[in-house]
Structure formats: structure tokens, C-alpha cells
A and B are shown apart, each in its own frame.
Chain A
Amino acid sequence: DQQVKQNSPSLSVQEGRISILNCDYTNSMFDYFLWYKKYPAEGPTFLISISSIKDKNEDGRFTVFLNKSAKHLSLHIVPSQPGDSAVYFCAASAMDGGSQGNLIFGKGTKLSVKP
């Protein structure tokens, strides 16, 4: 049973336009959400995160929105650039009594930004 779902395997956008990547989760215990970016032959690189006490976090061209009632988050990239072309993973974690910070990942969305 997938706890973190990215239902769009791929997304193609034009340079300069907005990219919107979506993520849904099922576990109400998740209290911290992250987006990672991964280029081929490299490990995932942290992009942006959001705590469940917030509904928006912004860092430059990247904004993450969290809708707790819908168990949905999205990553907005504006303006999109060709260098943003990569696989984007949504991940979540829960502060439980065991090991903390271990991440549950979605399957990823491959973003292609065309010049």
C-alpha cells in the first residue's frame, strides 16, 4: 500500500512557464514533507520542505503548498528552466517513537522543461 503517491509519471512544460508537481499521501501521522530532485547517476538532492503546521513554504522559484484536509501537496516551479529537468520525488516523514526522519517516497515525476 503506497502511502505517498505521485500519480503523474511525467510532465512536460515550456521554459518560462509554471511547473506544478502533485503528491498525495494517506498516512495522517506524516508531519513533515519534502521534495527531492534527482538527476541521472546522482543521488537525490533536497529541494524544499514543509512542516504540517504550515500550508506554504517558498524558496526562490520553488513553492510548496500543503492541503492537510485533502492530504495533498504540490510543488510549483516558476519560471521553469531547462536545468530543472529531472525526476522529482515527494517524500514524507512522521515523528514517531522509533527512528525519526526516515523518509517515505513517492515514485517520482519526470519533469522535462523545453527551451
Chain B
Amino acid sequence: ETGVTQSPTHLIKTRGQQVTLRCSSQSGHNTVSWYQQALGQGPQFIFQYYREEENGRGNFPPRFSGLQFPNYSSELNVNALELDDSALYLCASSLGRRARGDTQYFGPGTRLTVL
């Protein structure tokens, strides 16, 4: 059973650019949630995908978008990057969209820096 992996580990972009972050879910998991963790803050929920469809969204603008693929890997896309988008981006996979927190498995995160 493989764990949740994310790529890349670190990324540096400039303001206005677009970025794609990737997440590979734990084997057999069909649900992925994305979180943004700014420095000194707790993770903040961005959105969740269940079987390739968005299944809930937090308070993030539309320039944050996602995809989930048939193999349940997923992407987080951010357009028109702003300085405040600099953060650690975490994905968490789980089995079933009604999974409670203790069955969400987090990846190590991608550290995005926007200059």
C-alpha cells in the first residue's frame, strides 16, 4: 500500500504566473482534498474531489481549480499567482466522500513561493 505523494516538493514562481501541483492518492482511495497552509497558520480547506467531480469548496477564488483523474490522482491549478499564494499546499486522500478526518491521509506537501 503506497502513501500519498506530492510533486514537486518545492516551486518558485513569479506573480501572475500559473502553477500546477500534483498529488497521487493512497492506493484504493477515491477522494482527495486540497489544503493551503500559510506560514504560522493551520491548513485551510480549498476543495475536495470525489470520483472526478468537485464535492465541496472552501473560501477560495475561482482561480484555484482542480482535477481528479480516473486513477484518482489529482491536480491543483492556480492561475494569476499572487504573493499571498505563497504557502505549503497539502493534499489528503480518503476512501469515500463522507470520510471523517481520521481516515484522511496527508501527503508531505508542496512548498510554493511566489516572488
Contacts and interface: CB of A to CB of B under 8 A. Distances in A.
Contacts of A93: 100-101
B90 A43 contact: yes
Contacts, number: 75
Contact of A101 (B41, B98, B105): B98
A24 B48 CA distance: 25
B48 A89 contact: no
A102 B106 contact: no
B104 A101 contact: yes
A99 B101 contact: no
Contact of B56 (A6, A34, A102): A102
A91 interface: yes
Contacts of A102: 33, 45, 48, 56, 58
Contacts of B90: 43-44
Nearest to B48: A99
A97 to B, nearest CB: 10
30 contacts: A4-B42, A36-B106, A43-B90, A43-B92, A43-B106, A43-B107, A43-B108, A43-B109, A44-B43, A45-B106, A46-B101, A49-B101, A91-B42, A93-B101, A98-B55, A99-B48, A99-B55, A100-B97, A100-B99, A101-B97, A101-B98, A101-B101, A101-B103, A101-B104, A102-B48, A103-B101, A105-B35, A105-B44, A107-B40, A107-B42
Interface of B: 4, 33, 35, 40-45, 48, 50, 55-56, 58, 90, 92, 94, 97-109
Given A46-B101, A108-B42, 10 more contacts: A4-B42, A43-B106, A43-B107, A43-B109, A44-B90, A49-B102, A101-B99, A101-B101, A102-B33, A105-B43
